[in-house]
Amino acid sequence: MTERQKPHEQDAIARRSNFEAVEEDLTPQQVKLEAQRCLRCKNARCIQGCPVNINIPEFIQALKEDNVQKAGDIIRETSLLPSVCGRVCPQERQCEGKCVLGIKGQSIAIGALERYVGDKSSAKNSAIKPSGKKVAVVGSGCAGITAAADLRKAGHDVVVFEALHKLGGVLRYGIPPFRLPRKFLDREINTLKELGVVFKTNVIVGKSITLKQLKDDGFDAIFICSGAGLPKMLGVAGENLNGVYSANEFLTRVNLMQAHEKHTPTPLKIGNKVAVIGGGNVAMDAVRTAARVGAEEVYIIYRRTESELPARLEEIRHAKEEGVIFKLLHSPVEIIGEGGYVKGIKLEVMKLGEPDDSGRRKPVQTGEIVEMDVDTVIVALGTGPNPIIQKSAKAEGMDIETDRRGYIVVDVEDNKTSIPMIFAGGDVAPTGESNAINAMGAGKNAAKAINEMLKSA
């Protein structure tokens, strides 16, 4: 059988100094070769592995027939963002991870094919019959724009409220352009605008306007998908020193505000030696970005071994190729300062014990302490929900149920909250792994439930 086709990549040394896309699309010849590898299984496990159930064998069949637009139409029946998801989704744990060819060999490069189709085909907007109903969507990330598209196609007037000055949520401020070129994100959002979705930026729901005010303004339903923008920090001495950033802040300042540029109103100070704490995709984005904004030595500090790293294998490989140094089985215990600035970091050497609830072996302390000279520390340990919306709603008598960590509690089946007209999804109300395609799934679930509610009203 033909080997799996691989996209051409920028030279590792060259790409470390720019923000251009690391990977190119497959060539048309490669697409045809890769599509021909698909067995078109009757019981397509790849579809089961996709959170939005894209008909993968059918769109690949269209590629076998050299009909890229037809392939795009098939994908867009269930997914608005093929150019995005083809680049950032963890296919190895989802669609590609279920491919039968992967049992004894190489799975179909579904992500690369989806990306190609997304880039080379266009969305089609059909006529919309107005329903007379109005829906507010809070947040313009994956969940928000997916829900907005489905709700608008159902005939509802849809207004998306975004707290930042640019649209896209974490797709814009969190994911670097070398992974997700902005032209593709902008194109997907422009498609929604052409569909009639209204976007309002610089609006913080809970501050600029409240949920009660939205209800009083005539919105028949509200979908909260404001993400999880509250960073989790280490809780160790020295964390308040200059030179310590959360990954959320660091990536937002670079991706959204271009704080690394010479003539910027919001300059970013990054030293020569940068340590990123964490092992997920955000940690990889942060450490690879740090290299691109001038750091000479960049480190990943992770308390388990490489086999437990939660980041995508592709991200780990790219980081290694770009010179990232992985300091594994080490955990920070103190950040060392001098004159108010980071000078180094103390790490405890760890070993692995028994598996925890996630199935990964627990890191166990050894008592051995080592020190590293670094001048910047970036903490990438995840984020939690910002409580602004929940607190303001409670103050106005709309008490939305949250769990002990502050996440909005929703029904897994339809994303309903404890308040009948309000729905929630994505990172603010997680029901699975935090990633783009699962957020899209939440957006589709919520849109379907909202539409059913509005039709029966």
Report pLDDT digits (tens) over 376-425.
999 999 999 989 999 999 999 999 999 999 999 999 899 999 999 999 99
Best CA proximity match to 276, nearest among 356, 170, 175, 372: 372
Q: How many whole angstroms separate alpha carbon 410 and alpha carbon 430?
A: 9
Q: How high does pLDDT run on average in the chain?
A: 94
The answer to whether 242 and 342 have CB atoms below 8 angstroms apart is yes
Confidence category of residue 202, pLDDT binned at 50, 70, 90? very high
Question: Does the pLDDT of residue 261 top 90, yes or no?
Answer: no
Per-residue pLDDT at 24 = 95
Distance (Å) of CA 23 to CA 6, 112, 179, 293, 342: 9, 10, 8, 20, 35
Best CA proximity match to 301, nearest among 293, 290, 313, 309: 309
* 247-255 and 281-292 helices, crossing angle to 10°: 50
Task: Specify whether domain 12-120 bears CATH 1.10.3720.10.
Answer: no
Per the DSSP assignment, residues forming a β-bridge with 161 are 138, 200
Residue carrying structure tokens 């603010």? 428
49-54 mean pLDDT:
93
The answer to whether 168 and 253 have CB atoms below 8 angstroms apart is no
* 56-64 and 110-120 helices, crossing angle to 10°: 70
Same CATH topology for 12-120 and 232-383? Answer: no
Residue 359: how many other CB atoms lie within 10 Å: 7
Q: Each residue of 158-197: b (16+ CB within 10 Å) or e?
A: bbbbbbbebbbbbbbbbbbbbbbbeebbeebbebbeebbb
Report pLDDT digits (tens) over 285-333.
999 999 999 999 999 999 999 999 999 999 999 999 999 999 999 999 9
CATH number for the 134-229+385-456 domain, one of 3.50.50.60, 3.30.210.10, 3.30.465.10, 3.30.110.30? 3.50.50.60
Task: Specify whether domain 232-383 bears CATH 3.90.1300.10.
Answer: no
Distance (Å) of CA 276 to CA 139, 310, 404: 28, 15, 28
The answer to whether 376 and 245 have CB atoms below 8 angstroms apart is yes
Per-residue pLDDT at 414 = 93
Best CA proximity match to 281, nearest among 201, 357, 382: 382
CA angle 247, 252, 255 (to 5 degrees): 115
140-146 mean pLDDT:
95
Structure tokens at 242: 């200059």
Beta strands in 178-307 (DSSP E): 198-200, 221-224, 230-231, 244-246, 273-277, 297-302
Every domain of the chain and the residues it spans: 12-120, 134-229+385-456, 232-383
Confidence category of residue 437, pLDDT binned at 50, 70, 90? confident
Q: How many whole angstroms separate alpha carbon 421 and alpha carbon 215?
A: 9
Residue 370, class by beta-carbon neighbours within 10 Å (0-12 exposed, 13-18 middle, 19+ buried)? exposed
365-373 mean pLDDT:
97
Q: How many whole angstroms separate alpha carbon 161 and alpha carbon 210?
A: 11
Residue 132 C-alpha from the chain's centroid: 33
Which contiguous run of DSSP H or E holds residue 371?
A: strand 361-373
pTM, entire model = 0.94
Greater model confidence, 431 or 346: 346
Report pLDDT digits (tens) over 159-182.
999 999 999 999 999 999 999 999
Structure tokens at 261: 């540029």
Q: How many whole angstroms separate alpha carbon 144 and alpha carbon 320?
A: 34
